[in-house]
Structure 1
């Protein structure tokens, strides 16, 4: 765990609790679909279209293009997640509801300031992603577990950014990202023994643990012509400290690094009132052992928590986003978007992912901005369509065989307030 002082660790733990994105795998795997209410109302589009002071979360080059402003927003997130087991000889068959907790409030905060005609700085504070499940009826009870089962992961990102605009047509940005993670697992006694874990006693019911790390974001936005802009962004892998209380669950003695990701975006001002934008993003889940390694390694001599040990078996995903903004009046802008993500969970890995059923692929969003004397008000709604992944040879014979099926849908309501200076 981090060597930070108890006072700092306590403060960060409180902040991570406030920013609990423990929201059952927010849309694109366990990454949020976008940061900032305006981007979110366009399905997360924002690489080439910065619209608020949270722009650096999507592309730090955007810090130079939004002016002096403050943005505050809240999302009310209600995921619906469940699992079904069938054909298990140990008696685990049944349908399991993972919604013991189903409502999450997620805040965001952004501030940008222009220093000179070429230089701007900003600060974005937001939840990057997370996962939460809580099964009152434990799906692993037939294998020796007891009590409610589930996991609770939240990630808080604090991203100070600096952007340089050498010409009116080009902006370059760099940001440092401080990440604070908070995690808890319960009801996994079936995996908490020396035959399964390299550190029995550090698998489940150990309370919340925290881990911290730093990463880098780079970005560029260039105007190709008066009505067309291109953007590029890259976020490094964030190597965090280990979850020491869960060193027997996660690979590499509790490691849970945050994956590298990169994106490209286009923004086209089709008319003075109509803007179309699109992003393509790649998230490298497979490069992080605890997320990408297959559970099958458990039966090849590598226990949970071991170096290079088993994980959740997630694969890399590509995400495509398309958004539209229409200025209906000087005081009113309407927005909408659609998004599609590849499936991160292979059908062979559904058993362990009962804990983390991040199977969402498609969602739509709508939103609107109103300019008032008290600032700009943004409202948006997004729906992630129900997705089901049916297992194929998903439950190992050691656990009685059969198949595990995962299902999820999501609804997200957002409110944002902005003020220009």
Structure 2
């Protein structure tokens, strides 16, 4: 059984590696319908991946199974002190969820989500090392989730987040990297509330602890304390139903600054691998998501949305953005769902990450990196 779990996770890591994402290594939306609405889903759950956005949302979606596949394509470019590199991205990220209405007031479910970032330039960057530059971070979260409806239309949810991550760094000999690949297991929790607070108006609140991962032994001489955790985050959502229209809004805070590997400055002062050693220099993000869904007919729904956030990489910390291209904090979304039968529906979504170029200043003078990405998601949902 343990071997089977490792094989499944390895396959998910292979699929999700080398992706560029919107908010750090996180995507702007999880769940095919949420992706089409700019990711706005904290108060507007629609499928069995709802726990990724708000664990309490699983209480409102009933018994169902959902699967999705997101294709990411685009071009990422960098210029590090005159060494120009580029990578044409084409990667796939799966998503899966299942939920069961155990009792009228209790649901039990499981959501699987992925995070990732990386590049493969195919050439060395002298400022980093002597071999071809390649980075690959993949993180998979499996979240068993339970909800309880403590009053009509009011849900509490709890998720246990079981994590697996894989990190590969190649071409960073100048920083002490050994061109190895390592993996680690992690755990965290998520809690949430979803409730109807007025006619047609829903409120969602959610909090996720950090996902604390084991030490990456192969990288303990380069990343602070040898650990790369997923940071804590908290969000608030509102959704309003008006006839055939649904309007949704999310605010999400991502606490990048609490994790040393992500928040320590490149010029922190300590030796690589120490708690006060150099890191990526990221700051916290405030993410605002807006989405609209229109029920065109009993079978067809149309939707759109936007996701807007501050860039988590200050210009003075741009040096390592060339190898961690999480550089597109603003995106536009479109989507639709077609109901084939009372049980079966198919969803499509498209996201465009607006082109963003980071130009280094101060200690990062002479470094530029950025690009643009397109994402296409196809999802299938089955109610039972």
Scaled to the shorter chain, the TM-score interval is over 0.9
Q: Contact 2:36–2:333 (CA<8 Å) still a contact in 1?
A: yes
Give the TM-score normalised by the residue count of structure 2: 0.96
Give per-residue Cα distances to partners, 1:203-251, cap 9 Å, x unaligned.
Answer: 1311x21111110000001111121011000000111001111111211
Corresponding residue to 2:96 among 109, 114, 130: 109
What is the CA–CA distance in structure 2 between the aligned matches of 1:144 and 1:42, rounded to whole Å? 39
SS at match of 2:59: helix
What displacement does 1:69 show?
A: 0.5
More strand by share: 2
What is the CA–CA distance in structure 2 between the aligned matches of 1:10 and 1:232, rounded to whole Å? 33
1:351 is matched with which residue?
319
What is the CA–CA distance in structure 1 between the aligned matches of 2:370 and 2:161, rounded to whole Å? 32
- CA shift in 2, pair 1:385/1:242, >3 Å: same
- Which structure has the greater CA radius of gyration? 1
1:388 is matched with which residue?
357
Give per-residue Cα distances to partners, 1:74-110, cap 9 Å, x unaligned.
Answer: 011114211123xxxxxx41422133xx111111111
Corresponding residue to 1:280 among 251, 272, 275: 251
What is the CA–CA distance in structure 2 between the aligned matches of 1:388 and 1:289, rounded to whole Å? 25
What is the CA–CA distance in structure 2 between the aligned matches of 1:144 and 1:387, rounded to whole Å? 23
What displacement does 1:124 show?
A: 0.5
Alignment of 1:28-177 (within 5 A): 28-85=23-80, 92-99=81-88, 102-127=89-114, 129-139=115-125, 141=126, 143=127, 145-177=129-161
What displacement does 1:21 show?
A: 4.6
SS at match of 1:64: helix
- CA shift in 2, pair 1:393/1:110, >3 Å: same
Q: Contact 1:16–1:182 (CA<8 Å) still a contact in 2?
A: no
Size of the aligned set, in residue pairs, is 383
Q: Contact 1:13–1:210 (CA<8 Å) still a contact in 2?
A: no
> Are positions 1:371 and 2:339 aligned together?
yes
> Are positions 1:255 and 2:239 aligned together?
no
Q: Contact 1:83–1:98 (CA<8 Å) still a contact in 2?
A: no
2:374 is matched with which residue?
411
What displacement does 1:22 show?
A: 3.3
What is the CA–CA distance in structure 1 between the aligned matches of 2:30 and 2:17, rounded to whole Å? 12
What is the CA–CA distance in structure 2 between the aligned matches of 1:255 and 1:311, rounded to whole Å? 11
SS at match of 1:137: coil
What is the CA–CA distance in structure 2 between the aligned matches of 1:335 and 1:319, rounded to whole Å? 20
> Are positions 1:264 and 2:253 aligned together?
no
Q: Contact 2:43–2:238 (CA<8 Å) still a contact in 1?
A: yes
What is the CA–CA distance in structure 1 between the aligned matches of 2:244 and 2:5, rounded to whole Å? 47
Q: Contact 1:326–1:333 (CA<8 Å) still a contact in 2?
A: yes
Gaps of 5+ in 2: none
SS at match of 2:296: strand
What displacement does 1:181 show?
A: 0.3
What is the CA–CA distance in structure 2 between the aligned matches of 1:70 and 1:10, rounded to whole Å? 23
Q: Contact 1:394–1:404 (CA<8 Å) still a contact in 2?
A: no
What is the CA–CA distance in structure 2 between the aligned matches of 1:19 and 1:319, rounded to whole Å? 26
Q: Contact 2:211–2:232 (CA<8 Å) still a contact in 1?
A: yes
> Are positions 1:178 and 2:175 aligned together?
no
SS at match of 2:218: helix
What is the CA–CA distance in structure 2 between the aligned matches of 1:150 and 1:135, rounded to whole Å? 6
Which 4+ stretches in 1 moved above 6 angstroms? Answer: none
What is the CA–CA distance in structure 1 between the aligned matches of 2:14 and 2:135, rounded to whole Å? 17
What is the CA–CA distance in structure 1 between the aligned matches of 2:2 and 2:46, rounded to whole Å? 38
> Are positions 1:292 and 2:292 aligned together?
no
What is the CA–CA distance in structure 1 between the aligned matches of 2:213 and 2:262, rounded to whole Å? 14
Give per-residue Cα distances to partners, 1:107-164, cap 9 Å, x unaligned.
Answer: 111101111111111100111x22111122322x2x4722210210001110010000
2:273 is matched with which residue?
305
